[in-house]
Chain A
Amino acid sequence: MAKIEIKNVTKSFIDPDGKIMNAVKKTSLTVNDGEVVVIIGPSGSGKSTLLRTVNLLGAPDTGSILFDGVDITKNNADTRKLREEVGMVFQQFNLFPHLTVLDNITLAPIKVKKMKKDEAEKLAMELLNKVGLADKANSHPNQLSGGQQQRVAIARALAMKPKAMLFDEPTSALDPEMIKEVLDVMLSLAKEGMTMLLVTHEMGFAKAAADKIVFMDHGEIIEESSPEEMFSNPKSERTRDFLQHIL
């Protein structure tokens, strides 16, 4: 079970000039168990900010987030437990450059879950097989291509056996020819029934895998519907405008 409920969440930042910027305005969104929800929208629309509130990397200012019915924004909530259960993949991969691929994957299981080293390595090898990089176990991240790094990053997140996964523009930093290998891994995850919340510009992926697409602009959710609806018959003018520009 993994259900994410974002309720009336707001998040503001102070920009370098000291002005307050409302990145996310009173926004609610629900991701049901096993669902794949894709957030789209122009840059600066608050997509990543909203995504990052879910594992409290950028905790919301107001509102609440429920994970499996438990309010994780309460003061006494177990943030670390939440982060064990929600994996995250970043635009810039953020692999640990001083560790081998294998050690990147086993670090958290060993340190956080107190898993035995050989057990963690066995798990890591299984995951590397899954993302097609078993032969790279002893390489360092800087010896891998961007696409390979991102696949390792996915394996690293999966090693914590998360109930849900967050993807923050996972293919935006990749060269075009490497996007597919990453999307394939994500597609297979979606097929396995992983609960996923993504920010992406890959409309092909959204069409193929998403149960729901959310269009955000200026910190608000403008429209929320199934892929078919969204792409063939967008309700709002702004959505139509945006889709016209990217499709």
Chain B
Amino acid sequence: MKDFEKMPVKEEKPNHPTITMTDGVLIPKKGNKRILSSWMMTFIGAIALLLFLIIFKADPYRKIFFFVIKGTPTTFEITIAAIIGAVIIGTLTGIGSVSNNRLITSLCGVYVELIRGIPLLVQLMFLYFALGSIIHMEGNIAAIVALSICFGAYMGEIVRAGIQAIPKGQTEAATALGLTKAQTFMHVILPQTIKIVLPAIGNEFISMLKDSSLVSVLALSDILKKGREYISRTFLSLQTMLIVALIYLIFTLVLSRLVGLMEERLHKNG
């Protein structure tokens, strides 16, 4: 029997396609008073507590802070490099997931399922120790590769959802105008997808910043590793971990508000 097309489904005017991703952090936006006010309270609380400790309890907190904060560049270097890697992998995976080629679609599907089913910490150790015995890899390269591969899978799902959120009429209009598939993708689908997935990518960046603390097992001097170094020298576990937690919290809160602002802007510009 001949393969017939699927019945076309009439779409309701989807002028503002959006996708919601619930993993990661809550994004405080103007529209959501509840999240915005809890964000505000947490943020002010965290800053106040940190300042209080550093100023009024200088011993040991000021020392701890200035020691631990030295891990920031490593944390951010790894996070930024890995998010770039994840965006590249995710874009390719996302495009592959909607491809007409069954082989490519299955490959992308297997990759996503495989990666999402293995804890990041296991992936990190696997790459560093297991593969490290075959190919020598610097700790930071291993960390960036592992984080890229892991988050690339999530990113792939975001990009796929983003592409599929574009109304079918867009492709039809471009096709009817004579644009090739590649031109349609480049000039019509991709620019709209970017706009849709940008907030979700921001969200992933924040998740990544938090999960990058796992790389401290690879002997990289990120914020957490710096904290552990300090503990092993001074045995001030509680105090040190308090500072480490506050630093992560403040970074995460600032970033989530930035993502919120970006979303507000994107919506304003249609």
Interface of A is mostly: mixed
Nearest chain B residue, comparing its CB with the CB of A22: B4
Q: A140-B270, A142-B15 are in contact. Are A80 and B6 (CB under 8 A)?
A: no
Binds A, one of B64-72, B117-125, B171-179, B203-211: B171-179
Q: Please determine whether A92 and B183 come into contact, CB atoms closer than 8 angstroms.
A: no
Binds B, one of A83-91, A119-127, A192-200, A217-225: A83-91
- The reply on A163 being an interface residue by CB < 8 A is no
Q: A14-B4, A20-B4 are in contact. Are A97 and B192 (CB under 8 A)?
A: yes
Q: When chains A and B are docked, how far (Å) is the Cα of A143 from the Cα of B270? A: 9
Q: When chains A and B are docked, how far (Å) is the Cα of A16 from the Cα of B175? A: 25
Q: Please determine whether A111 and B191 come into contact, CB atoms closer than 8 angstroms.
A: no
**Inside 8 A of B6's CB, which chain A residues have their CB?**
13-14
Q: Please determine whether A111 and B13 come into contact, CB atoms closer than 8 angstroms.
A: no
Q: A13-B6, A13-B8, A140-B270 are in contact. Are A92 and B169 (CB under 8 A)?
A: yes
Number of A-B contacts (CB under 8 A): 87
- The reply on A77 being an interface residue by CB < 8 A is no
Binds B, one of A28-36, A54-62, A180-188, A205-213: A54-62
A128-140 vs B, Cβ < 8 Å mask (1 yes, 0 no): 0000000000001
Nearest chain A residue, comparing its CB with the CB of B169: A94
- The reply on B59 being an interface residue by CB < 8 A is no
Nearest chain A residue, comparing its CB with the CB of B269: A140
Chain B proximity of A48: nearest CB distance (Å):
9
Nearest chain A residue, comparing its CB with the CB of B270: A142
**Residues of A within 8 A of B (CB-CB), count:** 37
**Inside 8 A of A15's CB, which chain B residues have their CB?**
7
- The reply on A160 being an interface residue by CB < 8 A is yes
- The reply on B30 being an interface residue by CB < 8 A is no
Q: Please determine whether B188 and A96 come into contact, CB atoms closer than 8 angstroms.
A: yes
B156-175 vs A, Cβ < 8 Å mask (1 yes, 0 no): 00000000000101101111
Q: Please determine whether B4 and A92 come into contact, CB atoms closer than 8 angstroms.
A: no
For this complex, into which size category does the number of interface residues on chain B fall?
Answer: 20 to 34
Q: Please determine whether A80 and B180 come into contact, CB atoms closer than 8 angstroms.
A: yes
- Interface set, chain B 1-37, CB cutoff 8 A to A: 2, 4-8, 11, 13, 15
Which of B170, B178, B180, B187 is A94 in contact with, Cβ under 8 Å? B170
Nearest chain B residue, comparing its CB with the CB of A80: B178
- The reply on B257 being an interface residue by CB < 8 A is no
Which of A12, A14, A57, A157 is B172 in contact with, Cβ under 8 Å? A57
- Interface set, chain B 37-81, CB cutoff 8 A to A: none
Q: When chains A and B are docked, how far (Å) is the Cα of A157 from the Cα of B179? A: 12
Interchain residue pairs with CB less than 8 A apart (24): A12-B4, A14-B5, A16-B7, A20-B4, A57-B172, A61-B4, A80-B180, A83-B175, A83-B178, A84-B178, A90-B172, A94-B167, A94-B170, A94-B172, A95-B173, A96-B174, A96-B188, A98-B191, A107-B177, A107-B187, A108-B178, A112-B177, A112-B178, A153-B173
- Chain B interfacial positions (CB closer than 8 Å to A): 2, 4-8, 11, 13, 15, 167, 169-170, 172-180, 183, 187-188, 191-192, 195, 270
- Chain A interfacial positions (CB closer than 8 Å to B): 12-16, 20-21, 55, 57-58, 61, 80-81, 83-84, 86-88, 90, 92, 94-98, 107-108, 111-112, 140, 142-143, 153, 156-157, 160, 173
10 closest A-B pairs (Cβ-Cβ)? A94-B173, A108-B177, A94-B169, A13-B7, A88-B176, A83-B178, A84-B178, A112-B178, A142-B270, A15-B7
